[in-house]
Amino acid sequence: MEPTRYTQTTLVDLLDRVLDRGLILDADLIINVAGIPLLGLKLKAALAGMETMLNYGMWHDWDAAQRATATEEQRRRKQIPLLPGEEVRLKVFASQRHSKGIYHSWRPGYLYITDRRIFLFRKEPAEILFQALYEEIKGVIAARNRSIGGKQTDFLYLLLSTGEVTQLRSSAALVIEDTIEERMKALGLEPEIGLPLPIVNETPTRFPFDEEEAVSLGEYHIR
């Protein structure tokens, strides 16, 4: 078959041809130095779009592996990492203040309060950002602070028995506080009352309003 030259062919036409029908490269290359053959290269290659490759029976193992990985990732995103027999009492959107050196950020996710523990879960990538058993919680404080833009922001501080403080931000902070304290008392644990507000680069004040107002601050799910 004689090669044919089309002077009006563009790069887009060439790319369309490669993706749609593909190219077969069959080349022999010999490199000579001073008339002496030193290197030889025999090249056979197929170049085409992935859909064309799969239609011709190539890359099936790769495609199956990619599909399996994507399916597993989808399953992990949908599955809540609950312990056997663990029951969710409250689910609400929240974010956790994360500090590492000079780097500070808020990591969003869903806060789950179960009959055994509290954990903040991010779906993508799937990861538990924070978790604590009720036995590890010393006290809970809901507080409010005004942001730089003047907007009221609601915080929740979990004081752990290790001396650490976990700072969460949620519009249902007061509801979360009540749910945690109620569950701790049901387990025979007494959260400490009247603890001082921790200093975590903010100057929050305790909530001046009642529970009805807190409920209207955001959507949440209680079981």
Condensed to tens digits (0 to 9), the pLDDT of residues 109-144 reads: 999 999 999 999 998 888 899 999 999 999 999 888
- What are the pLDDT digits (tens) for 50-75? 777 777 777 777 777 777 776 666 66
| Residue 83 within a domain | no
* Domain stops at, among 28, 50, 78: 78
For residue 12, is pLDDT > 60? yes
The reply to whether 70 and 99 lie within a common domain is no
Residue 150, H or E segment: none
Q: Which of 70-79, 140-149, 175-184 has the lowest mean pLDDT?
A: 70-79
Per the confidence metrics, is the pTM higher than 0.75?
no
The reply to whether 117 and 214 lie within a common domain is yes
The reply to whether 178 and 159 lie within a common domain is yes
For residue 41, is pLDDT > 80? yes
| Residue 4 within a domain | no
Residue 96, H or E segment: strand 88-100
**What's at 136, amino acid-wise?**
E
Q: Which residue has the higher pLDDT, 99 or 87?
A: 87
State the Cα–Cα distance between residues 151 and 162, nearest whole angstrom. Answer: 32
The reply to whether 177 and 206 lie within a common domain is yes
The reply to whether 145 and 118 lie within a common domain is yes
| Residue 124 within a domain | yes
The reply to whether 198 and 139 lie within a common domain is yes
| Banded pLDDT at 146 (limits 50, 70, 90) | low
In contact, 192 and 138? CB cutoff 8 Å? yes
The reply to whether 152 and 42 lie within a common domain is no
Instruction: Give me the pLDDT at residue 183, please.
Output: 94
Mean pLDDT of the chain: 79
Q: What CATH number does the domain containing 156 carry? A: 2.30.29.30
| Residue 112 within a domain | yes
Show the domain range for 199: 88-222
Instruction: Give me the pLDDT at residue 203, please.
Output: 45
